[in-house]
Amino acid sequence: MTDSEYRSLAEKSPLKAQRALFDEYYRYVYAIVFGRLRNNASREDIEECVSDAFSEIYRCCGNSSGHDGELRGIVGTIADRTAIKAYHRLSSRIRPDSSIDDGSADNIAAPDDVESETDRSLMRQKLLDCIAELGEPDASIILLRYYYGRSSGETAAELGLTPAAVRKRCSRAAEKLRKRLSDEGITI
Amino acid sequence: MKKNDIDLSILGTDKETAGRLADGFAVPEEGKEKIFRQSLKKYRQGADTAAAGDSVQGVERYRRPVWGRIAAAAAVVALAAAGTGTGLLMLKGRSLPPAMSELPGGEEVTEVPEETEAPATEAPTEAPTEAPTEAPTEYLRELEILSDTMRTITDEDHIQIIYAGTEDYRQNGPARLDREKYIAKFRAAADTEALNTPELKSYIYDIMLNSLHYFDTISGHHIFISAGNNIETDFGFDQVNHYSWEEEKDEDRGFSWAVYNYDGTHYDVNNQSMAYETFVSSEESIGFNLGTNDWMMLNTAGENVSSIQPDSSTLGITSNTGFAPQLPQSHLHDLSAWQILSVTEVNGMECAEIEGDWWKGHYKLYVDLHHGFLMKYDNSDGDHYELTDLRIDEPVEKKTFDPTGYSGTDIFGNPVQ
């Protein structure tokens, strides 16, 4: 959706425009927010942050003064900024923090550590390639279970499967993924 | 994390990966409709506020009544189950009773009597000046033995427990354990069996959780080494006059940060980027007098909940400073998982030497018996923490921040003058 498409829809019905925007970008915004907050926020906090991001997105897109072109860039930036602020609010800090009590220190990159960040970025893409090779629904099962932390029942509800099918497919897919990652020399 | 789990945490933190996740794979959608409704509500509230000419919604969030602030954050802090994840305490959103559900917009709590707001400005200035010394006015409470099972309560009950604890603190000041009695038992213990009674272990757990109750002012130095971070911190904290500061540096990685809290304003400073963030903070200490077993309970969904940590967080004292309650909750809540080995001195403080196991592996730590401070800590993951140069109840310098040369923003990212 482009900004002008959004605005022309909003002229007819702001609610429809907001709904269309939400439907188009919900998954992207959720993935951004979840990635930022997964180590230090509850599911409810993450959902609240997603709704905060969208209320800001509606506000920005509703201002005719701004942007043109595809909205994805703006949406992503607002989502990321909202999530970072939520992280700071929840952690009471604006700079990298770590605690004896959690593993968040492992994900903190030094600001000038470009080489390490590039390596990590390549690793992420490779990991996703390996997950994608599992095919669907196994790839989504793996992500819902091990990245988003959903139970077998919740995963089953998301994908229209039975919990038993999720568990069986999950264990086979996980084994396949471990072997694939090992072949690629990736340790996680 | 369970043994056979796959750790995909590396996938987080960048938009490119998030885009691929969103475009190529399933993303949880069970809360989607609720999120949409919330987003519309917040958008409309923001539009109404802007139309009314009120441009300080963010400030209002920090100026709502003390009780409203606790309840509006849902007044519970989530602690992940010990077997799966972190012990870092965060505010956790909860479904509140309908009368309180409008609070995040900054509205008043209608069900709480108005007089509960007044004590927020009166009582805290009195109680801390009377309680801290070991004079007869010390407000003592009984030690509870830490239960080996957590009880299940409703969210409303939990909020009431916190509210009662807050009111008790406001009226009576910080409640303390009879330290002389229990420290005598530590000293008299003839062997490790005598040291490892449920009573003495519960004492350790309780005094660590409530260590803020056992001093008025503190300053010192600590070092924290973890996962490539090597952070040295100098800090000062005055609970009576409501100011604090922390100055941290990690020379290996070239970081330098600081936090300053004074006169009701918080500054979070990054000396690398010459940037700071500022917001209104509390000018009042919010304390809680809670029983030992009130700190960790299960909600009706079977999740661990805990009370909000005392005001040290809004006064800028980090989770790593040795008197934050996170560590006892993550490490010591299961009395069967750790042992007291001895009573020994560490950096000038009489401590219990403790060894145990938690989700990250094995650890050893030393707890100051008189105040509950974490004096030293090491775990099998290579993390190390040590608290030194402590000065307790001596005058602490009130450090202020000079923003010259820095760019400042509020928590919404708007530039500040």
Examine the pLDDT at A171 and tell me if it is beyond 90.
Answer: no
Q: Measured between alpha carbons, how far is residue B255 from residues A127, B266, B382, B403 in Å?
A: 31, 20, 21, 18
Choose the mutation target among A55, A71, A100 for the interface with B, i.e. most B CBs under 10 Å. Answer: A100
pLDDT value, residue B67: 25
CATH of the structural domain A114-184, one choice from 3.30.479.10, 1.10.10.10, 3.30.70.2660, 3.40.50.1100: 1.10.10.10
Q: How many CA atoms lie within 13 A of B53 on its CB side?
A: 0
Q: CB-based contacts of B81: which residues, under 8 Å, 6+ apart? A: B303, B304
Is position B4 within any domain? no
Query: Rounded to a whole number, what is the distance in angstroms from the first to the last CA of chain A?
Result: 37
Query: Quick one: tokens of B229?
Result: 């971070």
pLDDT band at A101 (very low <50, low <70, confident <90, very high): low
Per-10-residue mean pLDDT, chain B, length 417: 69 83 90 90 74 37 26 29 28 26 31 37 39 58 90 83 86 92 95 96 94 92 85 91 89 84 87 85 71 83 62 59 77 92 96 90 94 94 92 94 91 75
Instruction: Residue B224: list chain A partners with CB under 8 A.
Output: 98, 100
State the Cα–Cα distance between residues A90 and A87, nearest whole angstrom: 5
CB A106 within 8 Å of CB B227: yes
For residue B216, how many other CB atoms are within 10 A of its CB? Answer: 20
Output the average pLDDT for chain A: 82
Instruction: State the CATH number of the domain containing residue B270.
Output: 2.50.20.10
Q: CB-based contacts of B216: which residues, under 8 Å, 6+ apart? A: B128, B129, B132, B238, B239, B240, B393
For residue B73, how many other CB atoms are within 10 A of its CB? Answer: 16
- In DSSP notation, A148-183 reads S---HHHHHHHHT--HHHHHHHHHHHHHHHHHHHHH
pLDDT value, residue A168: 85
pLDDT value, residue A103: 46
User: Please, which residues bridge with residue A51 across strands?
Assistant: none
Query: Which of A186, A10, A171 shows the shortest CA–CA distance to B43?
Result: A10
What is the tens place of the pLDDT at every residue in A121-152? 888 888 999 999 998 889 999 999 999 999 88
CB contact under 8 A, B91 and A45: yes
Q: Are strands B275-280 and B407-409 parallel, antiparallel or unpaired?
A: parallel
Is position B296 within any domain? yes
Instruction: Residue A58: list chain B partners with CB under 8 A.
Output: 39-40, 43
Backbone phi, then psi, for B127, in 5-degree steps? -55, -45
**Closest Cα in chain A, distance from residue B127 (Å):** 26
In the chain, the amino acid numbered B70 is: I
ipTM of the prediction? 0.86
Choose the mutation target among B3, B5, B13, B250 for the interface with A, i.e. most A CBs under 10 Å. Answer: B13
Domain extent listing, chain A: 3-91, 114-184
Q: State which residue of chain A sits closest to B24, comparing Cα positions.
A: A132
Of B5, B24, B316, nearest to A146 by CB-CB distance is B5
pLDDT value, residue A67: 52
Q: CB-based contacts of B34: which residues, under 8 Å, 6+ apart? A: A47
User: Please, which residues bridge with residue B217 across strands?
Assistant: B238
Of A45, A85, A124, nearest to B11 by CB-CB distance is A124
The domain tally of chain B equals 1
pLDDT value, residue B318: 65
Q: CB-based contacts of B79: which residues, under 8 Å, 6+ apart? A: B87, B89, B296, B304, B305, B306, B329, B330
State the Cα–Cα distance between residues B70 and B83, nearest whole angstrom: 28
Q: State which residue of chain A sits closest to B412, comparing Cα positions.
A: A85
For residue A23, how many other CB atoms are within 10 A of its CB? Answer: 12
Is position B21 within any domain? no
Query: Which of B389, B280, B313, B381 shows the shortest CA–CA distance to B60?
Result: B280
Q: State which residue of chain B sits closest to A173, comparing Cα positions.
A: B6
Of A31, A96, A147, nearest to B22 by CB-CB distance is A31
Q: State which residue of chain A sits closest to B270, comparing Cα positions.
A: A95
pLDDT value, residue B62: 25
Is position B394 within any domain? yes
Of A15, A35, A154, nearest to B11 by CB-CB distance is A35
What is the extent of the structural domain holding B210? 114-409
| Domain spanning A3-91, CATH class | mainly alpha
Is position B404 within any domain? yes
Instruction: Residue A148: list chain B partners with CB under 8 A.
Output: 27-28
Is position B248 within any domain? yes
CB contact under 8 A, A100 and B377: yes
Q: State which residue of chain A sits closest to B317, comparing Cα positions.
A: A92
